[in-house]
Structure 1
């Protein structure tokens, strides 16, 4: 799987190249031969970002990556890994769950019409062409209900002894299962309605017939990436007035913006940057790896074990994060982003977690992969056939663990992300992905396997509408993206002014302790960083929600 490393120097690149050739890695040698004459900037830009003539429809590129739809269908890892790629979207309803029949109608009207949601993929060979065979969808057979129970073991397992804590425990059981619908020969998606346990005393009559709870939407990754799934749900999610909430303006389509002018010198520099980037990309799946430590001591065990559990970090105010970024931007004259701050807060929580285990963070080297999706303008006439896709790559950044204080970790995060955006790394990765998709399936899977054994965490931050969201006739209070991966997987989603972060992970440490420690460490980091820009601990606590 092609990825980016934003910090490697040219000397490191030369060493990586020497090591790669010395190891005679067939995947790398094949790619190296394929790209020897194809990395010039104009070719890359024409393939990926070239402007179409006016009136000519854009063609969506399907086989784009190790992890594209073709590979997702056959499995992203060798079959011995026993791993299936399932995206889980957890929607918490604080007031009451939507009616099942209302949700079913929403799916029937807005989701099932999409080709991949009423079809089953078939392949004759691994990572080969896909035939999407249409099926008659009985929507009710994709819906499942269950009631969560208050258990004496909740707190020992690291869950709050609350209704929401009980529901989260049930969600965790589902995360470690395969899709029932896939096993039954139906399209690869399903919805679980989980009722929260409700106390018999003091329960209002209005809520007694329909308790609060969670809607867990489980979708196989072969159906689409995160951005395309957000596009698909755009018509089904509405605001308080019942108007569909368009989420397309949250991303920048590939076709948007003017083409930059390049002088011969700029072009030469870009080509040099692209060549260095390619060497760095090829090296990540073959050379070195992150430092073994308490954070990821068993996260890379293969074959994959269905023992993943979830850490829910305190939900926190987007306004608070913007206060931090805006203060730093004004003070230092550099454009700090919400992602810079969130990435640094996660790194700070990881550093504090290592310290609690008696480890020296300055000697620990951990990297995070971040998915980078390519957005395109949606065609209304063909959206049911084209909107769903897997068109993304990875960027990789070092977690800032050695900095002594939280605000310096934000500065470090800003520097590395700013540097990444100014290089040819992202176009080079997309270009390599297109080439890699033509390799034999066994080589693609082995490369994915080699990469995941060397990387500690995948970090995904997806912006959402900053207004009240209703799905199935009821307001969504919180939402989390939960994706069991080989490496630890962090998902950050923001809706209605609140950021919700969770991590699906594996460790040999006590699960209950790990949940509590990481949640506490994140809150400590947030309080420290906010304090650096003049926000008191009391004000921070007013802007967080801990469950």
Structure 2
């Protein structure tokens, strides 16, 4: 990494989380995948990036350097957009109707594994002008996680997009329900718990368990956790399943839980079905999911101006999230017969952990490690937290209406996180009344097609069981 001594040209310091995510222990990337409804005309790519994307935040025009004291800073540079735009060429198909799903999958696996050059801003745009089963073309935005979290980057994306049906109208989100915030839940918890003693006990218990899982206790080796030799970026194969949001809402209404509870139950049950298919005994092993939560106490996305404005801390740009250690329920005969138990257990476990102050203490612990031993020590702790678990689950809410850019309607949208030292990474994205569950699996270890089939079976079995409940 470049060293720099002229303080006047430095834009701003890199946040603590940004430093953790660009350390020798961790290097994490976000891949945003846009599926085009019509063939892609990339003639407007450079002016769109120049006029819409780069002005969003100075970080998109900055490189990460170290100052004379060794601290990481963002330094603004001249951006050569042509260096950031990649248009791959695939071998000719066997017919005019040939679909390039396999080529696109291999290409995405390759770019997920590659590090971005440090001498230019930490993002790339990949324009794949080949048809697939789902789209006429695919655009992949690859950004380093140090630039911001999913909330920040989704807000940036929406500022570049227009509604396909009416460009003068704003986007709306699928629910008016206030997003779950850890800090908001803490305030609610203070009102709900019968006494401060109960809150303190729950906090100590959850924090103690989190501390053990992040340092001493590893999940068992299973069909979704290889325990392979640690490498910074594992070879990943990316796939996804699509669910109707109405289908999830139907289960939600029947069970009286949240949409997130239903989705967690679907994922947990699907994981156990896959583990049972590979090794019957593994369906009862100790496995933990790290569920990432946005810690902003706000409703919906804010404008880019509001997020970048430093005085607006409630919606500030950056990485503002925390994680919950949630045990993946074991698969017993009774739970296989009634898979709704996975949804109820997900509801119970996540509510129990969100209604404590353990996430605050975890944040304080990372900050203390950073101050006493430096960013690398805090990053190593975060790396071990990820490595000791079996999977990470994160979600982003997208708009109800169809997005369009440069008059190209966006048919589908999902994202993936690359660089985590796990064999399985799961993301959830809502868009246009559908939910996309994407999964990145370790290549040559997890059977992508079988895992996808197990998730689809989980969805159908849980929906069918919910429909049997009398109104």
TM category (shorter chain) comes to 0.7 to 0.9
5 Å-filtered alignment, 1:160-175, equals: 162-175=99-112
State the 4+ residue runs in structure 1 displaced beyond 4 angstroms: 60-64, 149-152, 246-250, 252-265, 376-387
* 1:449 has 2:392 as partner: no
Residue of structure 2 in register with 1:93 after alignment: 36
1:494 to 430, 433, 451: 430
* Residues 240 and 437 in structure 2, CA contact (< 8 A), matched pair in contact too: yes
1:480-519, aligned counterparts within 5 Å? 480-484=414-418, 485-487=420-422, 488-506=424-442, 508-509=444-445, 514-519=447-452
Aligned ranges for residues 518-529 of structure 1 at < 5 Å? 518-529=451-462
Match of 2:199 among 270, 282, 295: 270
In the alignment, which residue of structure 2 is the partner of 1:303? Answer: 231
Aligned residues of 1:277 and 1:425 also touching (Cα < 8 A)? yes
CA contact (8 A) 1:313 1:518 kept: no
**Which of 52, 59, 62 matches 1:110?**
52
Q: Which moved more, 1:439-448 or 1:470-479?
A: 439-448
Q: Distance in 2 between matches of 1:442 and 1:258?
A: 30
CA contact (8 A) 1:150 1:197 kept: no
1:342-401 deviations in Å (ceiling 9; x for gaps): 111112221121222132245311111011222266587565465531222211101123
Superposition TM-score, scaled by structure 1 size: 0.71
2:62 to 119, 126, 132: 119
Change (3 A) 1:227 1:264: closer
- Asked which structure has the greater CA Rg, the reply is 1
Contact 2:93 2:99 in 1 (8 A): no
Partner of 1:216: 140
Counterpart CA distance in 2 for 1:239 and 1:430 is 38
Which residue does the alignment assign to 2:71? 129
| Cα gap change, 1:430 to 1:473, in 2 (>3 Å) | farther
Partners of 2:360 and 2:161 in 1: CA distance: 33
Which blocks of at least 5 consecutive residues in structure 2 are unaligned?
Answer: 1-11, 311-315
Hey, which of these two has a bigger chunk of strand by percent? 2
Residues in 1 aligned to 2:14 and 2:207: alpha-carbon distance in whole angstroms: 22
Instruction: Mark the CA change 1:186 to 1:431 in structure 2 (over 3 Å): closer, same or farther.
Output: same
Secondary structure of residue in 2 paired with 1:186: coil
Corresponding residue for 2:159?
A: 235
The aligned length equals: 432
Question: Which shifted more, 215-224 or 438-447?
Answer: 438-447
Aligned twin of 1:195: 129
Aligned to 1:316: 243
What secondary structure does 1:483 align onto?
Answer: strand
Distance 2:68 2:402 in 1: 45
For the residues of structure 2 that align with 1:392 and 1:471, how far apart are their CA atoms?
29
Instruction: Give yes or no for contact 2:19–2:375 (8 Å, CA) kept in 1.
Output: no
Query: Counterpart in 1 of 2:398?
Result: 464
- In structure 2, the residue corresponding to 1:147 is in which secondary structure? coil
| Larger CA deviation: 336-345 vs 264-273 | 264-273
Offset of residue 236 of structure 1: 0.9
Query: Following TM superposition, by how much is the alpha carbon of 1:414 offset from its aligned partner in structure 2, in angstroms?
Result: 1.5
**In the aligned structure 2, how far is the partner of 1:374 from the partner of 1:123?**
29
Paired residue secondary structure (2:392): strand
TM-score by length of 2: 0.82
Cα deviation code 1:515-542 (max 9, x no counterpart): 111111111111111111338xxxxxxx
Displacement of 1:321: 0.6
> Which residue does the alignment assign to 2:346?
413
Query: C-alpha separation between the residues in 1 aligned to 2:266 and 2:431?
Result: 19
CA distance in 1, matches of 2:160, 2:294: 22
Does the 8 Å CA contact 1:344/1:399 hold for their aligned counterparts?
no
Please give the residue correspondences for 1:245-284 in structure 2 after superposition, counting only pairs within 5 Å: 245=171, 251=179, 266-284=195-213
* Equivalent position of 2:19 in the other structure: 70
Q: Tell me: CA distance 1:421–1:142, structure 2 relative to 1, closer, same or farther (3 Å).
A: same
Q: Structure 1 272/236 Cα, relative in aligned 2: closer, same or farther at 3 Å? A: same
Task: State the Cα deviation string for residues 2-56 of structure 1 (Å, max 9, x = none).
Answer: xxxxxxxxxxxxxxxxxxxxxxxxxxxxxxxxxxxxxxxxxxxxxxxxxxxxxxx
Closer/same/farther in 2, CA of residues 118 and 519 from structure 1, 3 Å limit: same
The CA deviation at 1:103 is 3.6
Kept in 2, the 8 Å contact 1:92–1:213? The answer is yes
TM-superposed CA distance for 1:115, in Å, is 1.2
Instruction: Return closer, same or farther for 1:231/1:445 CA change in 2, 3 Å cut-off.
Output: same
CA contact (8 A) 2:182 2:293 kept: no
* Shift, 1:198, TM fit: 8.5
Cα deviation for residue 91 of structure 1 reads 0.9
Show CA shifts across 1:302-341 (max 9, x none): 133542222x232110110110111111xxxxxx111111
CA distance in 1: counterparts of 2:13 and 2:59, whole angstroms: 16
Moved more, 524-533 or 490-499: 524-533
Match among 212, 217, 223 for residue 288 of structure 1 = 217
Which residue in 1 is equivalent to 2:408? 474
- Once the two structures are TM-superposed, the CA of residue 133 in structure 1 deviates from its matched residue by 0.9
Structure 2 residue aligned with 1:538: none
| Structure 1 residue 433: Cα displacement | 3.5
